[in-house]
Structure 1
Amino acid sequence: MAWFSGRDSSGSGDDGDDAPIWESRGFVASGIVIGAVVVCLVVWLVVGNGNGAPSGQQSPSVTPTQGPTDGPTDQPTEPPATPDPPTATRTPSVPATPNGTGGCRAKNPPQRIPREAPEAVSWQFETNMLIPLQPQGGPALEDAKGLRSCFAHSPTGAVLAAMVTLGQIRNPQLTEAVLRNRIAPGDGRNLALKAARTSPTPRNTAQTSQFAGFKVVDYLPNRAIVSVAVRLDSQKVAGLPVTLLWQNNDWKLMLQPDGSFNGEVAPDVLQSLEGYVRFGGA
């Protein structure tokens, strides 16, 4: 099932059997069709939990990711984003700040566009991808199934909502719940729900992606556009555009009519993290 459609803007990659799946031209082209088994560039249900294990099982330990000293020209020029020290946790829930003022409950949260990594963030595994948790910005609520919600009405809250939702939608035990509760209503969500019910979830057993940074492209009180940088491997980072809407006192991600997050806007294979705020848990 394709969450991101469009052509790889780098123009690289062959269709050979040994090429990584996101470098295949056929892989990119077929990503436009929701429910396709072969999907484009970064697909959260494909590039994810290698063993398909539910999030309740033991997660891998956190280790900093380091790229090689020499590599192809499309290798990012900056090192992976790593908190100092790594703070990934296995806590079952994220409490709101004192007096219930965190996340979507926060009154008058800061409206500054973040130019630095948010502070006081812990990282927790969702399947094998680390997602950020901040008492101030959210998520402030977690239901019995583990679905997280309630993000601050601010640019930082939108960033956290984008990353957490993208991480959780890859968990096959949460995919339908995320589509129903964390995605804005519309034709795209309807199409994605239908595909999620009728199509098996393909998985890639060899690759693990992690968040590397973000860039707030545009921000209005009722809408935000965030480009999320995702490290595909030690040599490639992709910039994934996501639109969020402020609905029912929370940030909801928006799907385009084709059921993807980005529609005609192709994800970018980044040459570096220049212009992005470096932000990741591994």
Structure 2
Amino acid sequence: MIGAKRKRDPVDGPFYKQRGWINSALFLGFFVVMSLVTLAVGPKGAEVTENSRETLAGLGGPLSPGDPQQIRTGPGGRPENCRTDDRDTARPTAAPTDVKWRQLMTIMLPTSPSAGPLHTDATMWWCFAHTPTGAVLAAHVIPVQLSGTSWRIVAEQQIVPGRQRDSFVAGKAESEETNRRDNAVGRFTGFSTESYSDDSATVRLLVTNPLGGYLSTTVSVRWRDGDWKVALLDDGSLYSSAKQATPDGYIMWGA
């Protein structure tokens, strides 16, 4: 099942595991699927060098969207214009009853008037409930936004700051010229909450494989500055390694 190493072909895809080579049949299949998804997370995070300092200039956040002088004047340190019902702290056992599917670029994303994102601005979708369901929705929405033209703003405001974010931004900037591929798109079809606490969560996503079957991966988020932010892996990746999966154990979106 192990193939010879090949020269890397950068792929635009939210679930692409950002590694130099894909050297198993499983990841070859994932590579094919995610080459069909028209989102750009870029290659593996790059080493931050003097040449990339300009790229990182101004990344001092993340700050919640809005006036930097007034972003956290609301209750609990939240932005004044971000109000959510945070009473339901139980892990979800079903999809939100008020789920609404909205298109962002070529991807359909689950949203909820109660759990977020409550604000869907031109540059960013934000303001998620401080609940397990809010974390689930943030894990779906935030990574997808990082393929848009406003990815730098999203990276600053919706990724936990640190070495991993610097590496991600440097690598993403280097791959900005990668051609996007406008073909078939995998679809979010289910989720499970692997872990949840008041300040962090890990969500497993189930995605349809346009070639048949399902793939799964995880996204981690942290509660910071009044909203959920993505916590990158040590190598600057958004997603964990893809795995073949079945719907067993997942809450299905039913869409």
Note whether the superposition's TM-score is higher than 0.5. Answer: yes
Amino acid at match of 1:49: T
- Is the 1:48–1:170 Cα contact (8 Å) retained in structure 2? no
Report matched runs for 1:67-106 at 5 Å. Answer: 105-106=83-84
Whether 1:23 aligns to 2:28 is yes
Report matched runs for 1:146-225 at 5 Å. Answer: 146-171=123-148, 173-199=149-175, 200-225=177-202
| Pick aligned residue for 2:93 from 115, 136, 140 | 115
Q: Write out per-residue CA displacement over residues 13-64 of structure 1, whole angstroms, 9 at most, x where no aligned residue.
A: 6xxxxxxxx526xxx7xxxxxxxxxxx5765xx54339x9xxxxxxxxxxxx
Q: Write out per-residue CA displacement over residues 145-193 of structure 1, whole angstroms, 9 at most, x where no aligned residue.
A: 341111000000000111111322233x132222121111121111111
Report matched runs for 1:209-248 at 5 Å. Answer: 209-233=186-210, 235-248=212-225
> How far has the Cα of 1:194 moved from its partner?
1.2
Number of the residue aligned with 2:249: 275
When residues 161 and 42 of structure 1 are mapped into structure 2, their CA distance, relative to the original with a 3 A threshold, is farther
When residues 235 and 212 of structure 1 are mapped into structure 2, their CA distance, relative to the original with a 3 A threshold, is same
Report the Cα distance in structure 2 between the residues aligned to 1:226 and 1:197, rounded to whole angstroms.
Answer: 27
Report the Cα distance in structure 2 between the residues aligned to 1:4 and 1:41, rounded to whole angstroms.
Answer: 12
- Is the 1:104–1:250 Cα contact (8 Å) retained in structure 2? no
- Is the 1:176–1:196 Cα contact (8 Å) retained in structure 2? no
| Pick aligned residue for 2:241 from 258, 266, 269 | 266
| Pick aligned residue for 1:4 from 12, 17, 21 | 17
SS in 2 for 1:274: coil
Number of the residue aligned with 1:48: 37
Q: Write out per-residue CA displacement over residues 244-271 of structure 1, whole angstroms, 9 at most, x where no aligned residue.
A: 0000010101112311024xx522111x
When residues 168 and 241 of structure 1 are mapped into structure 2, their CA distance, relative to the original with a 3 A threshold, is same
Report the Cα distance in structure 2 between the residues aligned to 1:117 and 1:107, rounded to whole angstroms.
Answer: 17
Report the Cα distance in structure 2 between the residues aligned to 1:273 and 1:117, rounded to whole angstroms.
Answer: 14
- Is the 1:130–1:167 Cα contact (8 Å) retained in structure 2? no
Report the Cα distance in structure 2 between the residues aligned to 1:41 and 1:245, rounded to whole angstroms.
Answer: 31
Report matched runs for 1:55-66 at 5 Å. Answer: none
Per the normalisation by structure 2, the TM-score is 0.69
Whether 1:128 aligns to 2:128 is no
Q: Write out per-residue CA displacement over residues 65-113 of structure 1, whole angstroms, 9 at most, x where no aligned residue.
A: xxxxxxxxxxxxxxxxxxxxxxxxxxxxxxxxxxxxxx95224420111
When residues 6 and 280 of structure 1 are mapped into structure 2, their CA distance, relative to the original with a 3 A threshold, is farther
Segment drifting more, 131-140 vs 234-243: 234-243
Number of the residue aligned with 2:7: none
Report the Cα distance in structure 2 between the residues aligned to 1:189 and 1:47, rounded to whole angstroms.
Answer: 26
Per the normalisation by structure 1, the TM-score is 0.63
> How far has the Cα of 1:205 moved from its partner?
3.2
Percent identity of the aligned residues?
A: 27
SS in 2 for 1:164: helix
Whether 1:256 aligns to 2:237 is no
Segment drifting more, 112-121 vs 215-224: 112-121
SS in 2 for 1:117: coil
What do you get for the CA RMSD once the two structures are aligned? 3.1
> How far has the Cα of 1:231 moved from its partner?
1.3
- Is the 2:143–2:238 Cα contact (8 Å) retained in structure 1? no
SS in 2 for 1:105: coil
Report the Cα distance in structure 2 between the residues aligned to 1:225 and 1:131, rounded to whole angstroms.
Answer: 18
Report the Cα distance in structure 2 between the residues aligned to 1:261 and 1:241, rounded to whole angstroms.
Answer: 9
Number of the residue aligned with 1:17: none
